[in-house]
Amino acid sequence: MTDHLNVALLGSKFMGRAHSNAWLKVGKFFPVRPLPVMHTVVARNAGELEEFAGTWGWQNTTTDWRAAVTAEEIDLVDIGTPNDVHAEQAVAALEAGKHVACEKPLAGTLADAEAMAAAAGRSSTKTFVWFNYRRVPAVALAHQLVASGAVGRIYHVRAAYLQSWGGPDTPLLWRFQGDIAGSGAHGDLNAHIVDAVRFVTGEEIVTVEGAIEHTFIEERAVLDGAAGGEIAGAGAATGAVKAPSTVDDAVLFLGRLSGGGLASFESTRLATGYHNANRFEIHGDRGALRFDFERMNELGFYSLDGDARVQGWTTIDVTRGGDGHPYADAWWPDSHGLGYEHSFVNQASDILTVIGGGEPLVPLPDFADALATQRVLHAAIESARGRAPVDIADL
């Protein structure tokens, strides 16, 4: 193992920026080995690509992703492209002997996700999936507390991911095109909370008991140009020309956990008043936890231990590095706060640690782990459309 790792990034939009910032900053805050080298960035628009590379510090650019992922000098391929091309790009990179870090969801379809996991199983290299919320200190601490037995046997889990940017004025971005995205709020948002529940509880979702899938806005204005931008405001809509939105706007489903508990999941892009409310509650026979990303530096904890007269919810400030809060030691003095971007830097640190032969601070999802989440997503849609329970083991 050398002291440096050449990275090729595929994608230069929202996730391209988030990942670029992570590779740029990780060596400045964490004592990682190997150190990442921002070698090559790949995107379709050559004109925009040069500006992006200059802004973020990428040494080389190309519009040919296949040449980049098979280049001898590249060690790790970081995939931040739309969901429909994850499988082709990841499999090509694995077959070329590269480590691969892929955005979530693992793929747009279960079949693609299975192909990616199979390719990873045949490879001697390592795979990672950017479920970055695992690296939020509060979520990592919740995982540690559950593992320690602090909440006991789990009875109930409630998880929701609520956004409001997908209203009628939002144009037909690629995230609203089923052939590209695979699904809408479900794959984009439920993927995160399914992974979070599996990660924090240490349990699997074994059945989906019932689900609702709904599209409220069936047509959207077409963007000028090609496939459509990444986020609202990414391009100009023609206004007069509309086309079908072929994904869900909201999906709700119920599930059973492997430990016998019950879980509910809700994702929507039409929750007026919420911008990025990624939240969960976990209730057990000894205590409870609650988290909301809109207050990401806090974790709520309720313990049944001690004097019943003073029991109540405790709000934990998870930025206290000296007290051992996950990842906090790398950053700022107590209560100076972390943001969304820090979760990606924290994950980049763990990726490099694993490639270097070390152990991550908390478990990292690989392709096999992310496939388990993809099976739950698939089961929820099968349940919604078939109006019947689905056992994950039957998929």
Domain final residue, candidates 132, 164, 186: 132
Average pLDDT in the 25-37 region? Answer: 98
Q: How confident is the model at residue 223 (pLDDT cuts 50, 70, 90)?
A: confident
Q: What is the pLDDT of residues 148-192, one digit of tens each?
A: 999 999 999 999 999 999 999 999 999 999 999 999 999 999 999
The CA distance from 158 to 144, in Å, is 19
Same domain, 294 and 184: yes
CATH code at 48? 3.40.50.720
Same domain, 127 and 139: no
Domain final residue, candidates 104, 132, 160: 132
- pTM value? 0.95
- Decide if 393 is inside a domain: no
Residue 13 belongs to domain spanning: 4-132
Same domain, 125 and 159: no
CATH code at 373? 3.30.360.10
Task: Provide the token pair at 364.
Answer: 């990292």
Number of domains in the chain: 2
Same domain, 62 and 157: no
Same domain, 87 and 117: yes
- Decide if 113 is inside a domain: yes
Q: What is the pLDDT of residues 355-387, one digit of tens each?
A: 999 999 999 999 999 999 999 999 999 999 999
Same domain, 189 and 333: yes
Preceding peptide of 36 cis, ω within 30°:
no
- Decide if 198 is inside a domain: yes
Same domain, 128 and 138: no
Residue the block writes with tokens 């869900």: 248
Same domain, 185 and 70: no
- Decide if 353 is inside a domain: no
- Decide if 180 is inside a domain: yes
Same domain, 259 and 379: yes
